């Protein structure tokens, strides 16, 4: 919690609009795309779901994954001075990232709830499932980030690769629209974990009924297996990692 407060809660300390930035920055992509929607950039067909809703929900789910991935991948490198000088545990570094991601996720979830109040016919009891989908996205991103963080200590190029992947994967995760899985590229993209969570999570939240529950459960099981692998990896390589940090 102390690390979470230092790296996240106190990030805007001393600024007049500190609380505002904590709320605004996680929601900046949502605000931007909704402004574009109001300006008429997105032309939805009559009777279809407004693009502002589908994109906002997609961003909420995707960023739960990407922020966990990038944050956990970088956290050991960022906090290596604390680890070497104070004996800070690796788990504390990872948990501080998860706390920050969950906080941002909760802010986006609340903002989307307020948005759906203006489109009340799309606000159903299924909206509560959005929390579960987002938390599963956080879990998958976290375990992947933990695994990458071990290698990033020794090969710093991996951090750049992960950040680049996280940025461009946004456009291949169903946030802006679904892919035609009849093509080779569409088939590959449709099997990406981020795409599965975004598309199925959005359908679940909006109560569309087109949800591939087996894929979501499969990814959840994979996340648990990867979590076990990450724990074993760090336990076996911890002494080597500590020596390298020092």
- pLDDT tens across 47-64, in order? 577 788 888 899 999 999
| CA end-to-end distance (rounded Å), the chain | 24
The pLDDT tens digits for 130-184 are: 899 999 999 999 999 999 998 888 888 899 999 999 988 888 888 887 877 777 8
What is the DSSP secondary structure assignment for residue 181, as one 8-state letter?
T
pLDDT (mean) for 93-103: 93
Q: How many domains does the chain have?
A: 1
**What's residue 217's pLDDT?**
92
More confident residue, 86 or 173: 173
- The range of the structural domain enclosing residue 64 comes to 52-245
Distances in Å between the Cα of 122 and the Cα atoms of 2, 74, 116, 133, 244 are 39, 38, 7, 18, 52
More confident residue, 143 or 33: 143
Give domain status of residue 45, yes or no.
Answer: no
Give domain status of residue 235, yes or no.
Answer: yes
**What's residue 105's pLDDT?**
93
Average pLDDT taken over every residue of the chain = 85
pLDDT (mean) for 112-129: 86
Rounded-to-10 torsion of CA 203, 107, 165, 97:
-130
- pLDDT tier at 42, thresholds 50, 70, 90: low
Give the tokens for residue 86: 């104070």
pLDDT (mean) for 84-92: 83
More confident residue, 25 or 67: 67
SS3 content of the chain, % helix, strand, coil (to 5): 80, 0, 20
**What's residue 136's pLDDT?**
94
More confident residue, 200 or 17: 200
Give domain status of residue 44, yes or no.
Answer: no
Give domain status of residue 139, yes or no.
Answer: yes
Token look-up 């996240």 returns 8
Distances in Å between the Cα of 100 and the Cα atoms of 22, 86, 105 are 11, 22, 9
Give domain status of residue 155, yes or no.
Answer: yes
- pLDDT tier at 45, thresholds 50, 70, 90: very low
The pLDDT tens digits for 193-231 are: 999 999 999 988 888 777 888 999 999 999 999 999 888
């Amino acid at each position: 919690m102390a690390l979470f407060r230092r790296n996240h809660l106190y990030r805007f300390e001393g600024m007049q609009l500190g609380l505002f930035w904590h709320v605004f920055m996680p929601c900046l992509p949502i605000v931007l795309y909704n402004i574009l929607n109001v300006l008429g950039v997105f032309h939805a067909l009559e009777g279809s779901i407004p693009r502002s809703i589908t994109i906002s929900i997609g961003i909420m789910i995707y960023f739960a994954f990407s922020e966990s991935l990038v944050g956990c991948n970088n956290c050991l490198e960022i906090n290596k001075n604390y680890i070497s000088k104070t004996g800070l545990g690796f788990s504390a570094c990872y948990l501080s990232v998860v706390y920050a991601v969950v906080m941002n996720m909760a802010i986006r979830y609340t903002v989307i709830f307020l948005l759906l109040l203006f489109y009340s016919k799309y606000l159903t009891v299924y909206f509560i499932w959005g929390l579960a989908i987002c938390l599963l996205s956080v879990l998958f991103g976290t375990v992947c980030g933990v695994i990458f963080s071990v290698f990033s200590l020794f090969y710093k190029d991996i951090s750049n690769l992960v950040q680049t992947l996280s940025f461009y994967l946004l456009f291949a995760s169903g946030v802006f629209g679904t892919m035609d899985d009849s093509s080779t590229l569409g088939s590959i993209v449709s099997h990406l974990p981020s795409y599965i969570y975004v598309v199925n999570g959005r359908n679940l939240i909006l109560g569309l009924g087109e949800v591939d529950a087996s894929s979501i459960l499969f990814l959840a099981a994979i996340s648990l297996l990867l979590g076990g692998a990450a724990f074993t990896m760090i336990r076996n390589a911890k002494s080597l990692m500590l020596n390298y940090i020092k």
